[in-house]
């Protein structure tokens, strides 16, 4: 008599996105993965020497992920011949330094332009035509309306994704891919090539009007207004449905960029089905379409991109402009998760990162040119990442369930109160205490920030830097709310360990919770 046992090792799922309540999480090796990231400078990944130095540094800066360009011009310098020396080198270094990689496909478009197209593409402008302005000037932007341009980007991207599957499916160092970089039309809001003009004066495709009808309740206000002004028409050319003007040029262009990207992304996904997103250069400062990189994956164009490029999982903002919290809000909308693939490298990021994760269920945070700080260990963001690293599993567990808030302060935004379970939590900039000699009114205060996690009705966790918190309740019956006790804690392997009891001067004799400016901790 004998028994036979068959053990089928279930293949590990490749990185993918998964909904959790109102959040969308990136799942890596079967667990939610929050990206403590940074993006490399544009030319860094073209030298393995640089990459070696940099990946070591990023590990010291407590990153868990680096965003690394993959350059079409170097991968396919000769048509149809592919060289992955740099890509493979980056993967090897990432593994060595315990980092994940998000690859940035610098393919047909990079910051509107086509500077990463190989020489054989650039030279052969008859075969691979450029976009043209209204006045007939040729731009260094490969036209989105040309089949040859589409075919070469598709072919190269497919080859690239196939390669990633081959070298990494079993290890999963690569967790996501950005398709192109900051797509956009600039100088004019749309391409005026012959093919483009023809389509502009043809009926708006049914694929788009169907989408608009079906999603009318949730359309971005800018689009809804233009459509409404023209009587919610579903048949007619672009100007008949959306009116005359640069804004309609932009809608048209976004739609057509979307169709192009859909083919590229879907072909890539068929080779290796990793999550894929697009990043946007933002359109602030009241500029009109054409004056900023238009028709890219901008917040006000979310519906157009969704309708035209469903293979793209989400849109992401590159934040260089003022108005950080507002940009976060604009991109965490209608199920689009907030991922910040680029933000200007500034000390304030050490505060902003707490806001992004705490307030907007962010998937990740990633300042640009991350390798440049001189003292990696002393860099402010390093200290925030060190704290966040400890609580990532807890944050992931709470995402999508309204159990967290994030706070961000500077000289203008000094305090904010939130309510939970009948309690009020008033977070303020540490300088509001007036204890710091630099806290004079009128002086520029450093950015500070924190997040709160609800553990249970009466138990909360705060992590951050440069904040003070007081507690009350929403009852109007004279009841007071007080502090039971506060511990500073750390997390080891996801387990909370008390470090010290924060009483006396550390909690102002029971009046508040404080993390002084220039200090980072979890309480």
Residue 126 to residue 263: CA distance in whole angstroms: 22
Residue 117 DSSP code: S
Residue 44 to residue 96: CA distance in whole angstroms: 18
Q: Which residues ranging from 64 to 123 are in contact with ligand N0T (CB under 6 A)?
A: 111
Between residues 40 and 351, which has the closer beta carbon with respect to ligand N0T? Answer: 40
Between residues 320 and 423, which has the closer beta carbon with respect to ligand N0T? Answer: 320
Q: What minimum distance in Å lies between the beta carbon of 181 and ligand N0T?
A: 5
Residue of 312, 369, 311, 362 lying closest to 340 (CA atoms):
362
Q: Which residues ranging from 499 to 518 are in contact with ligand N0T (CB under 6 A)?
A: none
The count of other CB atoms within 10 Å of the CB of residue 342 is 26
Q: What minimum distance in Å lies between the beta carbon of 319 and ligand N0T?
A: 9
Q: What minimum distance in Å lies between the beta carbon of 111 and ligand N0T?
A: 5
Point out which span in 91-99, 114-122, 206-214, 314-322 binds ligand N0T (CB under 6 A): 314-322
Residue of 141, 66, 58, 62 lying closest to 107 (CA atoms):
141
Q: Does 368 sit near ligand N0T (CB under 6 A)?
A: yes
Point out which span in 20-28, 156-164, 170-178, 315-323 binds ligand N0T (CB under 6 A): 315-323
Q: What minimum distance in Å lies between the beta carbon of 182 and ligand N0T?
A: 5
As a three-state string, the secondary structure of 6-62 is CCCCCCCCCCEEEEECCEEEEEECCEECCEECCECCCCHHHCHHHHHHHHHHHHHCC
Between residues 281 and 452, which has the closer beta carbon with respect to ligand N0T? Answer: 281
Residue of 8, 26, 12 lying closest to 101 (CA atoms):
26
Q: What minimum distance in Å lies between the beta carbon of 115 and ligand N0T?
A: 10
Applying CB under 6 A, the site for ligand N0T has a residue count of 10
Point out which span in 25-33, 246-254, 313-321, 353-361 binds ligand N0T (CB under 6 A): 313-321
Buried b (16+ CB within 10 A) or exposed e, 343-381: bebeebbbbbbbbbbbbbbbbbbbbbebbebeebeebbb
Residue 306 to residue 218: CA distance in whole angstroms: 12
Between residues 344 and 403, which has the closer beta carbon with respect to ligand N0T? Answer: 344
Point out which span in 16-24, 132-140, 316-324, 458-466 binds ligand N0T (CB under 6 A): 316-324
188, burial (CB in 10 Å: exposed 0-12, middle 13-18, buried 19+): buried
Q: What residue spans of 332-427 are helical by DSSP H?
A: 349-360, 380-398
Report yes or no: 287 and 189 within 8 Å, Cβ to Cβ: no
Q: Does 191 sit near ligand N0T (CB under 6 A)?
A: no
Q: What minimum distance in Å lies between the beta carbon of 281 and ligand N0T?
A: 5
Q: What minimum distance in Å lies between the beta carbon of 174 and ligand N0T?
A: 19
Between residues 123 and 347, which has the closer beta carbon with respect to ligand N0T? Answer: 347
Q: Does 321 sit near ligand N0T (CB under 6 A)?
A: yes
Between residues 155 and 344, which has the closer beta carbon with respect to ligand N0T? Answer: 344
Q: What minimum distance in Å lies between the beta carbon of 42 and ligand N0T?
A: 5
Residue 79 to residue 110: CA distance in whole angstroms: 20
> Which of 153, 168, 182, 313 contacts ligand N0T by CB under 6 A?
182
Query: What are the residues facing 487 on neighbouring strands?
Result: 501
Report yes or no: 151 and 67 within 8 Å, Cβ to Cβ: no
Q: What minimum distance in Å lies between the beta carbon of 344 and ligand N0T?
A: 8
> Which of 25, 42, 366, 523 contacts ligand N0T by CB under 6 A?
42
Specify the 3-state DSSP secondary structure of 200. helix
Residue 94 to residue 313: CA distance in whole angstroms: 24
The count of other CB atoms within 10 Å of the CB of residue 228 is 12
Point out which span in 79-87, 165-173, 306-314, 318-326 binds ligand N0T (CB under 6 A): 318-326
Report yes or no: 349 and 342 within 8 Å, Cβ to Cβ: no
Point out which span in 118-126, 133-141, 317-325, 331-339 binds ligand N0T (CB under 6 A): 317-325
> Which of 320, 411, 418, 488 contacts ligand N0T by CB under 6 A?
320
The residue number with the shortest CB distance to ligand N0T is 320
Between residues 316 and 462, which has the closer beta carbon with respect to ligand N0T? Answer: 316
Backbone angles phi, psi at 461, to 5 degrees: -125, 135
Report yes or no: 26 and 175 within 8 Å, Cβ to Cβ: yes
Between residues 64 and 181, which has the closer beta carbon with respect to ligand N0T? Answer: 181
Q: Which residues contact residue 244 at a Cβ distance below 8 angstroms, ignoring those fewer than 6 apart?
A: none
Q: What minimum distance in Å lies between the beta carbon of 186 and ligand N0T?
A: 11
Phi-psi region of 354 (alpha: psi -120 to 50; beta: other; left: phi over 0): alpha
Query: What track of x and - describes contact with ligand N0T for positions 142 through 181 (by CB under 6 A)?
Result: ---------------------------------------x
Residue 98 to residue 114: CA distance in whole angstroms: 33
> Which of 67, 204, 261, 281 contacts ligand N0T by CB under 6 A?
281
Residue of 232, 246, 172 lying closest to 204 (CA atoms):
232
Interface with ligand N0T (CB under 6 A): 42, 111, 181-182, 281, 318, 320-321, 342, 368
């Amino acid at each position: 008599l004998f028994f036979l046992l068959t053990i089928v090792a279930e293949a590990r799922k490749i990185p993918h996105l998964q909904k959790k309540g109102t959040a969308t999480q990136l799942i890596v090796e079967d667990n939610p993965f929050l990206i403590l990231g940074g993006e490399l400078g544009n030319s860094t990944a073209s030298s393995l020497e640089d990459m070696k130095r940099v990946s070591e540094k990023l590990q010291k800066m407590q990153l868990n992920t680096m965003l690394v360009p993959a350059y079409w011009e170097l991968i396919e310098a000769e048509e149809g011949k592919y060289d992955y020396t740099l890509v493979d080198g980056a993967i090897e270094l990432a593994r060595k330094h315990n980092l994940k990689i998000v690859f940035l496909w610098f393919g047909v478009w990079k910051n509107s332009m086509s500077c990463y197209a190989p020489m054989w593409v650039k030279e052969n402008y008859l075969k691979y035509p450029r976009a043209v302005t209204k006045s007939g000037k040729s731009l260094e932007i490969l036209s989105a309306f040309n089949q040859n341009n589409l075919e070469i980007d598709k072919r190269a991207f497919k080859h690239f994704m196939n390669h990633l599957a081959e070298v990494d499916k079993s290890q999963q160092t690569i967790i996501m891919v950005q398709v192109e970089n900051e797509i956009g039309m600039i100088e004019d809001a749309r391409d005026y090539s012959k093919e483009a003009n023809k389509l502009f004066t043809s009926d708006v495709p049914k694929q788009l009007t169907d989408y608009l009808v079906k999603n009318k309740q949730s359309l971005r206000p800018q689009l809804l207004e233009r459509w409404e002004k023209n009587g919610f028409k579903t048949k007619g050319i672009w100007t008949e449905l959306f009116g005359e003007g640069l804004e309609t040029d932009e809608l048209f262009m976004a739609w057509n960029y979307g169709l192009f990207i859909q083919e590229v992304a879907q072909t890539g996904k068929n080779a290796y089905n990793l999550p894929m997103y697009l990043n946007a250069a933002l359109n602030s400062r009241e500029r009109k379409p054409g004056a900023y990189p238009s028709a890219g994956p901008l917040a006000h164009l979310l519906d157009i991109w969704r309708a035209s490029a469903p293979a793209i999982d989400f849109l992401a903002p590159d934040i260089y402009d003022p108005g950080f919290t507002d940009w976060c809000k604009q991109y965490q909308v209608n199920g689009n998760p907030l991922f910040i693939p680029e933000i200007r490298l500034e000390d304030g990021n050490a505060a902003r990162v707490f806001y992004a994760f705490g307030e907007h269920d962010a998937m990740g945070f990633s300042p640009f040119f991350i390798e440049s700080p001189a003292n990696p260990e002393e860099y402010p963001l390093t200290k925030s990442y060190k704290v966040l690293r400890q609580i990532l599993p807890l944050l992931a567990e709470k995402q999508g369930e309204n159990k967290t808030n994030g706070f961000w302060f500077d000289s203008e935004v000094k305090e904010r109160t939130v309510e939970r379970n009948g309690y009020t939590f008033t977070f303020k900039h540490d300088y509001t205490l007036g204890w710091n000699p630099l806290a004079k009114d009128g002086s520029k205060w450093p950015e500070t920030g924190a997040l709160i996690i609800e553990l249970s009705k009466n138990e909360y966790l705060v992590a951050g830097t440069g904040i003070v918190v007081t507690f009350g309740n929403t009852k109007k019956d004279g009841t007071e709310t007080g502090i039971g006790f506060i511990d500073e804690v750390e997390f080891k392997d996801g387990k909370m360990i008390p470090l010290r009891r924060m009483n006396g001067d550390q909690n102002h004799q029971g009046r508040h919770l404080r993390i002084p400016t220039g200090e980072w901790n979890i309480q």
